[in-house]
Copies of this chain bind each other. A is one copy, B any other.
């Protein structure tokens, strides 16, 4: 039986994606941080890991990128990308009267994505940030959690989170309309390279020498070898201030002839070049 480590807690979107991808016949272990998902895979305590990498509204999940920047010799490679539509909903106890809601619990990113809707529909409610949408539902449910119990009654509380979370606890879920397309991309982490047959995309990490035109020169071999870049993202390097690491995604497999040639040229001029993986991309429905 395969073991899958994912960024927890349970029933958040990362868990749902892992379940959809690997199915029911696996052992799922939730981890408190992105760091620990990577570690589980590296130490062979898990066969695969699942972490978020980017949201279409909030941008890059910097913890995931920075884990690669901080441990460039990691053995955890990208084995897949999963693109999931995100649906937020207002979760309450079944008999809660919406007019009585005085506090809403959720993750900061969910608040940002539901900002206008909350302002319009619950202008008077305070917002309380939690580490995850699952933790928000815990605050909604628990009668005695110290500080909150003194402030708000159970029927004055709401949370924002996915439908599955509400369902699990027998709570009410009302969808919150999103103004813009809200999707999250997740990475499947594994060990070793994948075969060419299954893969369509490659990710690399690149540190360039501090020279005029360095980025342009780095992109030239891609152009000359007919390789299409799909994404470029920069993060601070672990070296000097204002030195950057680039994450570049492109179409093709690391074993393809034109990709091999491109990476060989790039490797000569770059300060660091690391192949993160060649892997398939999957879009899933809710």
Please state if A228 and B213 are interface contacts (CB–CB under 8 Å): yes
Please state if B216 and A222 are interface contacts (CB–CB under 8 Å): yes
A46 → chain B closest CB, angstroms: 24
A106 → chain B closest CB, angstroms: 15
Please state if A219 and B215 are interface contacts (CB–CB under 8 Å): yes
A1 in the interface (beta carbon within 8 A): no
Given known contacts A56-B242, A215-B219, A242-B56, A233 and B236 CB-to-CB distance under 8 angstroms: no
Q: How large is the interface on A (under 10, 10 to 19, 20 to 34, 35 or more residues)?
A: 20 to 34
Taken together as a complex, chains A and B put the C-alpha atoms of A58 and B183 apart, in Å, by 24
Q: In the complex, which residues of chain B have a beta carbon less than 8 angstroms from the beta carbon of A57?
A: 236
Q: Which of A70-95 contact B (CB under 8 A)?
A: none
Q: In the complex, which residues of chain B have a beta carbon less than 8 angstroms from the beta carbon of A229?
A: 213, 215-216
Selected from B180, B182, B223, B236, the residue in CB contact (under 8 A) with A213 is B223
The 6 closest A-B pairs by CB, nearest first: A56-B241, A212-B228, A181-B241, A147-B147, A216-B219, A183-B241
27 contacts between A and B (CB under 8 A): A55-B236, A56-B236, A56-B241, A56-B242, A57-B236, A58-B62, A59-B235, A59-B236, A146-B147, A180-B238, A181-B240, A181-B241, A182-B241, A183-B241, A183-B242, A213-B223, A213-B228, A213-B229, A215-B229, A216-B216, A216-B220, A216-B223, A216-B229, A219-B219, A231-B234, A231-B244, A232-B234
